[in-house]
Structure 1
Amino acid sequence: MTYCVGLLLKQGIVLLSDTRTNGGLDNIATYRKMFSFERPGERVITILTAGSLSVTQTTLARIRDAIEDENATPETSILLAPTMLQVCEIIGNTLASVRTGIDAKMTAGTVPTSATMIVAGQRATGDMRMFLVYSEGNFIEATEDTPYLQIGEHKYGKPILDRVVTTDTSLEDAQKAVLLSMDSTLRSNLSVGMPLDLAIIRRDALRVTERRRIEPKDPDFARMSEAWSKALRDGFGQIEL
């Protein structure tokens, strides 16, 4: 399992993913779940993945092949598509095709092949947009009313986002929100694990403006986690029945 979250704010986009993949308690591995595609000054696209590793890796491989194809067109390459909506449609169609093909090979039907992706970015002259893409290729979009999207093991990290995040949230506070959302998930579900990948895309920068890999013993993350735990304990103690 995994946990990925993205915030779509007035100042930019904040994205965070874990890297744990497990096929059982004794089969745990680390795989990157965040992938960026850029033409600096023209467009930036970041994809977060959750679910079947074979489905997501094959989908990303086909997306890269389409980009590198000498016959690539705006209908096949996410770096040529004229809008972020069409970028999302290319990714959704590729994901659905891969999932259908793998499903056909799994005759026993015992291996889960579902996968989801968060697609976020901006192209020149366009707005920042963020989508959640399902295995079937359909998708939903983040809005001003719901400025964040989650995939994977999302329930533990949702409460703080519901209470704190709005489109007016600053990028600094947004980083704090996604990290504390991840911290809550790490504490409650062993299938989500470090290291973590954090990315920030500032509005109209048309590139990933900040990347950070957070390792298991990162002192800043540990300090934030302990401060959050103490704040919750103190707050709990102050509430009267």
Structure 2
Amino acid sequence: MTYCVGLLVDEGVVMLSDTRTNAGLDNISTFSKMFIVENPGDRALVLMTAGNLAITQTVWNLLQGGVWLNGISQKLADVPDMFTAAQLVGAAVRQVAAMDSAALASQGLGFDCSLLLGGQIAGGPPRLFLVYSAGNFIEATDDTPFLQIGEHKYGKPILDRVTSRETTLIEGVALTLISMDSTIRSNLSVALPLDLAVVRRDQLRICTRRRITDDDPYYRTVRNGWSQALRDAYLALPRPDFVLS
């Protein structure tokens, strides 16, 4: 399994993914789930994937080579806007489904994938989409400025409580790392190293790209500080006076 989270805030987009892939308890590997399409001054796109690794790698290869959409073959490197980019990812997913679904079903396997696409293309604002295995998609909004795929339940509470469109990119990086660390602590199928990418509004480039390992000093500060803050908050809560001693 995996966990990927994207934040869409007024200042831009924060994207964070883990790298664990497992095909059973004794077959665990590390694969990056983050893919970048960047042409500085024109576009900065980040694609993150969850689900069947063979499916998502095929989707990525199609997006690089060309996918038929609206009567022409298009790539993520040349689509005119973010909405068309999300449509293209959906079309690539459906193309792989048409090729592989029957073979997967014959082996008792379902067609399992989901993808987050975030970034900005010149002429439009930063946007963030979640593409499902059917090829349809939803978009992050002011009410819900974050999207998740994979093992999302453990990392969702902090995002629900804190995240808004006014969250800064710096705060967003800290929030996504807290969300990821909460997931890592509660689910063995999510693990370091992590891949982080930040797209600042109107810069049209990846302004931060970082591989985060266990010895990363900032990640250690976040992990230890959040654990201590939770312990301190718990100890500071009043004790229930309705429990008999």
TM-score under structure 1 length normalisation: 0.94
Cα distance per residue 1:57-105 (max 9 Å; x no partner): 00001111129xxxxx975222222221111101101012112321111
In the alignment, residue 199 of structure 2 is paired with which amino acid? I
The separation in 1 between residues aligned to 2:72 and 2:198, in whole angstroms, is 26
* 1:201 aligned to which of 178, 199, 202: 199
**Greater shift after overlay, 213-222 or 159-168?**
213-222
- Give yes or no for contact 2:21–2:29 (8 Å, CA) kept in 1: yes
The equivalent residue for 2:214 is 216
SS at the partner of 1:174? helix
In the alignment, residue 100 of structure 2 is paired with which amino acid? I
In the alignment, residue 146 of structure 2 is paired with which amino acid? Y
Unaligned 5+ runs, structure 2: 241-245
Q: Give me the identity figure in percent.
A: 48
The equivalent residue for 1:165 is 163
Check 1:108–1:43 CA distance in 2 against 1; reply closer, same or farther (3 A cut): same
The equivalent residue for 1:52 is 52
The separation in 1 between residues aligned to 2:88 and 2:116, in whole angstroms, is 13
The equivalent residue for 2:243 is none
Cα distance per residue 1:163-209 (max 9 Å; x no partner): 11100001111111000000000000000011000110000011111
Determine which structure has more spread, i.e. the larger CA radius of gyration.
Answer: 2
Check 1:235–1:42 CA distance in 2 against 1; reply closer, same or farther (3 A cut): same
1:3-18 to 2 correspondence within 5 Å? Answer: 3-18=3-18
The separation in 2 between residues aligned to 1:220 and 1:127, in whole angstroms, is 30
What is the CA distance between 1:218 and its match in structure 2? 2.1
What is the CA distance between 1:109 and its match in structure 2? 4.3
The equivalent residue for 2:149 is 151
The equivalent residue for 1:70 is none
- Give yes or no for contact 1:6–1:150 (8 Å, CA) kept in 2: yes
In the alignment, residue 157 of structure 1 is paired with which amino acid? G
- Give yes or no for contact 1:74–1:81 (8 Å, CA) kept in 2: no
SS at the partner of 2:76? coil
The separation in 2 between residues aligned to 1:214 and 1:9, in whole angstroms, is 22
**Greater shift after overlay, 111-120 or 198-207?**
111-120
What is the CA distance between 1:111 and its match in structure 2? 2.4
The separation in 2 between residues aligned to 1:132 and 1:211, in whole angstroms, is 21
- Give yes or no for contact 1:122–1:204 (8 Å, CA) kept in 2: yes
Cα distance per residue 1:133-158 (max 9 Å; x no partner): 00110000000110000000000000
In the alignment, residue 160 of structure 2 is paired with which amino acid? D
The equivalent residue for 2:61 is 61
The separation in 2 between residues aligned to 1:232 and 1:52, in whole angstroms, is 35
In the alignment, residue 30 of structure 1 is paired with which amino acid? T
* 1:118 aligned to which of 116, 135, 139: 116
- Give yes or no for contact 1:45–1:122 (8 Å, CA) kept in 2: yes
The separation in 1 between residues aligned to 2:105 and 2:39, in whole angstroms, is 41
The equivalent residue for 1:175 is 173
The separation in 2 between residues aligned to 1:197 and 1:21, in whole angstroms, is 14
Check 1:36–1:199 CA distance in 2 against 1; reply closer, same or farther (3 A cut): same
Q: Supply the RMSD in Å over aligned alpha carbons.
A: 1.6
The equivalent residue for 2:36 is 36
In the alignment, residue 188 of structure 1 is paired with which amino acid? S
The equivalent residue for 1:237 is 235
SS at the partner of 2:218? helix
The separation in 2 between residues aligned to 1:163 and 1:74, in whole angstroms, is 43
* 1:191 aligned to which of 189, 192, 202: 189
